[in-house]
Every structure is written in C-alpha cells, then in structure tokens.
Amino acid sequence: MKAKARIFTLALLLQAGCAVPALAAPLAVLDRNGAAVSIEPYAPNIVRVTIATDPDVARSAPGEGPNATPDAAGWTHASDNGADVFRSGDLEVRVDAQPWPSAPTMMARYFAPSLPSVSIGFARPGGAALTRMNSWEMSPHDVSGEHTFRVGASFSTTADEHFWGLGQNQQGFADLRGRTIDCRHNYDAPEGESVCVPFMVTSKGYGIVWDNPSATTVSAGVNGKTHWQSNVGERVSFFVITGKTTDEIYAGYARLTGTTPLPPKAALGLIQSKARYETQAELLDIAKGYRARNLPLDIMVLDWFYWTALGNLDIDRSAFPDPKGMNAQLNAMGMRSLISVWPRFEKVSKNFDTLAAKGWLLHDKDGKPVDGLPIRSDRAGALIDPTVPAARKWFWSQIRDNILSQGFDWTWLDETEPDLVPDGYFYSIGSGDRYHNLFPLLHTQSVADGSAQDRPNKRNMILCRAAYLGAQRNGCLFWSSDVDATWEALQRQIPTGINAAASGMTYWSSDTGGWQYPGGAGEATTAPLVDPAGATAMAPDYKDYPELFVRWFQYNTFTPTLRIHGQRPGTALWQYGPAAEAILADTLRLRYALLPYTYAAARHAYDTGAPIMRGLFMDFPGDAQALTVKDQYMFGPAFLVAPVTRQGQTHRPVYLPKGTDWYDWWTGRKFAGGQTIEADAPIAHIPLFVRAGSVVPLGTPILSTAEKQGIAKLRAFAGANGEATLYDDDGQTNAYKTSQAGKTVVRWNDASGQVEWPAGMKGSAARPPVEVVR
C-alpha cells in the first residue's frame, strides 16, 4: 500500500472512533538513504520508532492499542559524527549514520538488501547498552486482494538474556528464549487458546511493544537476535520502554496503553459458574447451597443459551421467568451476578437483517455477512463489527436495556478472539488479516464505554476470553479459555499465567478444574489422594478428578481471580465428593481471609501498573536461577506459590530465591534463600512461602464482600524490615479514582520487633493484634 492508502487507513480509524493517539509531530524524522526514521518520545523512558520508505507514513500515528499522547519533555537531540542521538534522563537512542552504499559487487547484485540500512541503538544514560535494532524489512505480497507487505525488524540479544510476555501461549514454557511464538488469536491452538498481546519484557531492563495488529511471529533470542515479523503493514512501528525495575516497565506500559481499573471487590471473591445453568431454579439452588453450607461466594454466573436465539440479546422467560426477581434473591444473599453475552447473530435472530443492512457485520469482499465457521461444528451466526462506533453503541444499548435492566451486574463477553476467524474477510476499516488481533480491544470497549456513560459510579467488570494491547483498560478479567480437564492442562496453566501477567493482563486466571468434560482420562497412576466417593462432577472412570480439582482450586486461590467453571454435571464445591469438599472449604476460607491482602495488591496494581501474579524474574532479577523457574511465582509482594500439578504428588522441589529468608506459611519454619528444598505438599494444601519482612493482614470471616470485613490480625515475618499497605473502600463505586482514602501503610521494624503504625492511628481498636513469625 502506498502512503496515501496508509493515511486513508488512519483516517478510517479516526472515523471509526478508535482511540488513535493525537497526531503530534515526532521529535525528528530522519532520512537514511531513503528510509524515513521517526523518533517520537512518550515519556522519559518510552520512545516510539517508526520506519518506512515514505516520510508521511513514518510520521503517522500508532495503530490501535497505545492511547497515550506523545511527550518529548526532557528529551534532547544532538548530532555525533553523523549519527543522531536522542537523550532523556532514562534512555539514550542512537540512530547510526549510514554512508551511501558503494557500487555493488557481482555477488552483491544477487544479495543486496532491497531496503536502505537502518541501525538504532538503545542504551541507558551513560551508554550501557540495552539492545540494538540491526535490520528492518518490508517484503511485498498480496493479502485479501490488497497490495501490502510483510514487515519486521531484528534486535540484538545477549547470551544471558531472558524474555517473557507476548500474551497467552499454553505451550508449557515461561521463558521465551529460543522459542518462536505465533502471536495471533487462535481458539484452536492444540495446547489451549493462544492470545496475542505483542508486548515482551526482558531481563535486561527493557520491554518492546510491537505496534501491528496483524498475525505476528516473534523469535526471541534465537541465534543472537529477536526477530519480529507481521503479516500486513506498510511500516515498522514499535515502542521501547525501559525501567530500573520491571515495575517501572509496567508503569510505562500502563502509561502507554491504559491503566488497569480496580475491579469491584466481589471480583476477588469466589465466582461460581457452569456450562450451563439451564433454569432459574437451578442457578438459585446452587447459590442457596453455598449459603446452606456456610461457604463464601460472591458472584453467580449465567452462561450461554439463556436466550431465545443467538443474537436476540434477550432472556428466555420459559427457563428464566423472573430474572429481576432472581437477581434480587442473589442480592439478598450478598451475591452479585455476571451474564454471558455473545457477539454472534444467527440469521433467524431478530437483529440479523438490521445489522446486515447497516453493514455492521464482518463481511466478505462482496459485502455479504460471513455466517458461521467452515470448521468444527460451529456454523451459526455472523460476527458484529466493533470497528463501527455506531455498532458498538448499539450493542451496549441492547445489553443495557434487555439484560442488565433485569438486575445483572456485569457482562461476560465470550468469543472475544473472535471465534469466527476474520482472515480473508473484512471489517469496516479494512481486512480481517490486517486487523487479525484487534477485535477483543474494540469489542470490550463497547461495554466499557457504555458502562462509563450510563453507570458512571458503578465499577465496570468484563470477563474477557482474549486480549490485545490496551484491553486491560476496559476492565477485563481474562482467563485461559476452554482448556482440558487434565493434569497436563493444569501444569500448563502456571507458565501460561506467568506470561499473561507479564503481558499486562493483570487479572488472569483459568477455569478451575478445566472447561472440557472430565471423562476418558483413565485410571490414576497412583491411588487418588482424594476419595472420589460421592462425587458427581465427572465421568465414573475419572477416579482422580476430585484430586485434580482440589489441586487446581488451590492454585487458582492464589491467582488474581478465582472462578469455577466447566462443562460437567456439577461444578459447586460439594459436587466433588465429601472428601474434596472439606479441603475446598478450608482453601476457600483462606482465600477470603486473605482478601485484605489481595485487595491492597489490586489497588497497588491500579496505582502503579505492577502485576499481582509475578514471575520470579520481576522480584529477583539478579538471581540467575530464579529467571528460569516456570512453575512458581509471587502472588503480590509476600507470597511465593508453588502449585502441585501431578497426580499423587505429596512433595515437590521448591526454589527459594536468594537475597532473603523464607517462611513456610503452614508451619512457620524458616529457610535461607538461594536453595532448592523438597517441600511437603499434603493434599490439604500446596507449598506456600512468605518472604521475610512481610506483613500479611488476615481478615475476619465473611460470606461475601457485601459484608464489612475487619482485620482479624497481622502476621509479621521477622528477618528483615518491611511494610504492607492496608486498603479498603466501598468496593463498588469509582470513588477510588479520585481518592487515596482508605490506605494505611504499616511498617515492620525488625530491630525492635514491632509493627509501626501511622501517627494518626490511635487506640487499640484501630490496631489489630500482631502475630510475629520468627
């Protein structure tokens, strides 16, 4: 595509109401023998580089995802022996001089590059190298009838460099070094759905945000370089974010693509779901079952097929005769509700013809709506086009008026990859190939924008099955999609979660117990650790499924959100048998006791961009062994979590990072860091350790976050100075966005052996008791 066409595409984005950043002049646009290189700072530690053969294209705004305004404050531009050098207090960018190439030799005639050479170095102030972009590429080809290019760039790496991020890849590894990632939304990925968030952080103190929503391939640290290549584009566009710590990089990512909102407090409690509750009575019976057993529960979920037809955006009153009354009963029990809404419209639905006539559906080259998938057995329904602002507004209005008006609190936007693959088809702004990964951002924006307008003081929350750059700003809770109910699937969830969180997807988790029907797994290799007697949640031959569910539940208890879901006869805690229920109840009560800790971590994530689920590389960058661990992580600042993912396992090796002492949460036993221990893992709990110097608040027992929860005690772990933030608010409104009220920072003074309280907190009533662990 020529420059005119590219500018026209950007104009379409603006016309579509997409959040394209302001068109500000770059700090400089340089000419390197016909290659236009744009340098555009966004903060002292964030710079965008755009390279194209046309200067107008090089000057054009970023694509969707980044929504910040360029800001060159504090940056300088100087010349150094023909090179252009850009400096801030955090970053130095050097665009090397490129002498005019000499006449080619005979061999060079065959192998000469088709593009002018560009070499750009990135370093810390003073010159300590971070990486260098050594080459770029634009290879012409045709996609969906459009003359375009494959675009890419290569960056230098070092032998000891490690990489994380790029969204959700369920292939079982955390460190991406030596891997080639197919960065595209793919529900049918063999290991479990893949989701592309083209943002990658490295152990060398920088991250790269790749600004291209088409299908992208990334080879990280392969043969001394990291190579990015996207299927459709007319320029190379990327951002470099630096930081002295990984949290500074994530703060930069939040600044560039949007802050993760604080979710309603209920989102951090138990979310109970099933595929599916077929009637109003069935859903209420499960909710009442939790209360009858004195078990905490916050959110009941109504999944698919509650409608009269896919795309009617209504509620079948034969199965759900009084949804408003149903939600009132849930509210009376201290619960809230979440309802699944799909982006697909069957031809028989009342909305199909209207949407087709308006051109608000994904369509083929002739403008005909694409109805269903040519694969699997999914052949019903056309996909709404969220690149049309009016379509987004209409979609929200239907949800608001027909569904949320019946008392449902929040929405679950399923199929946000989308499941109807757009390649070869067209959105209003261009081909599905060009915008392959964009759908989840704009689709979830429909509800985020609508909720902000029509429910300005109610915290929004959306359950989202896919992401893209910036999707976190829409209030998404992400999860790993419809994974298998197997031990192998559970093993894959830990590194998957580490990389999802490393990609800026703060609120990520998985369907506890897996989504697919638990059957056909065969006999356990050892005697099940949980007696399956009385379990009704699985096929009779899956004797170790209650054990798998217990281990999965223990893991998800220490992820940002905890949701039970699955395609099985029953999913409630008591449907895995009495032996499992006793363990699950204790684990669930621990989750609720730790809500003051988790909620404070959530507030910190909003304030700083710091993930809650933290690969060990984030907190222990100087520990070479910690950088390679894929089956442990930090949960907030205090907890080291080591899930059990193998059947019959009652102990497992746990690496305790160096530089601190560690305490076994269950026994209080102290261990020196920098060693691997064989940790006990009885079926009652998973290995869980706390860093010395931590102060962990424990809340009073509650059945839901609708109750006021006090602090029962603080547990302080001796061996180092430390601090903790206590935070509470109303849990529901958006007042937190303009107020720091409810925050208290307490400090553990290891020398005195005392917790130090802020001067304003007087009297024992305001100070819960302290339990010191030594």
Q: Where in the sequence numbering do the catalytic residues fall?
A: 414, 417, 482
Tell me if 742 sits within 8 A of 730, measured CB to CB. Answer: no
Residue 162 to residue 196: CA distance in whole angstroms: 19
> Which residues, 6 or more positions from 455, have their beta carbon under 8 angstroms from its beta carbon?
none
Cis (ω within 30 of 0) for the bond into 255? Answer: no
Provide the 3-class DSSP secondary structure of residue 627: helix
- Burial (CB < 10 A; 0-12, 13-18, 19+), residue 249, is buried
Q: Which residues contact 436 (CB under 8 A, 6 or more apart)?
A: 184, 185, 213, 214, 215, 231, 422, 423
Residue type, 578: P
Residues β-bridged to residue 653 = 678
Query: Helix, strand, coil: what percent of the chain each, to 5?
Result: 25, 30, 50
User: Could you give the strand order of the β-sheet that contains 633-635, starting from the edge strand earlier in sequence?
Assistant: 613-614, 633-635, 639-641, 688-691, 661-664, 670-672
Residue 633 and residue 493: Cα distance in Å, rounded? 12
Give dist(CA 645, CA 652) in Å, integer. Answer: 10
Alpha carbon distance 39, 51 (integer Å): 9
Nearest alpha-carbon partner for 162 in 117, 226, 215, 241: 226
The Cα 482–Cα 372 span in angstroms is 19
**Paired tokens of 457:** 């003081």
Pairing of strands 688-691, 661-664: antiparallel
CA distance 487 to 551: 9
Angle at 640 between CA 758 and CA 701, to 5 degrees: 60
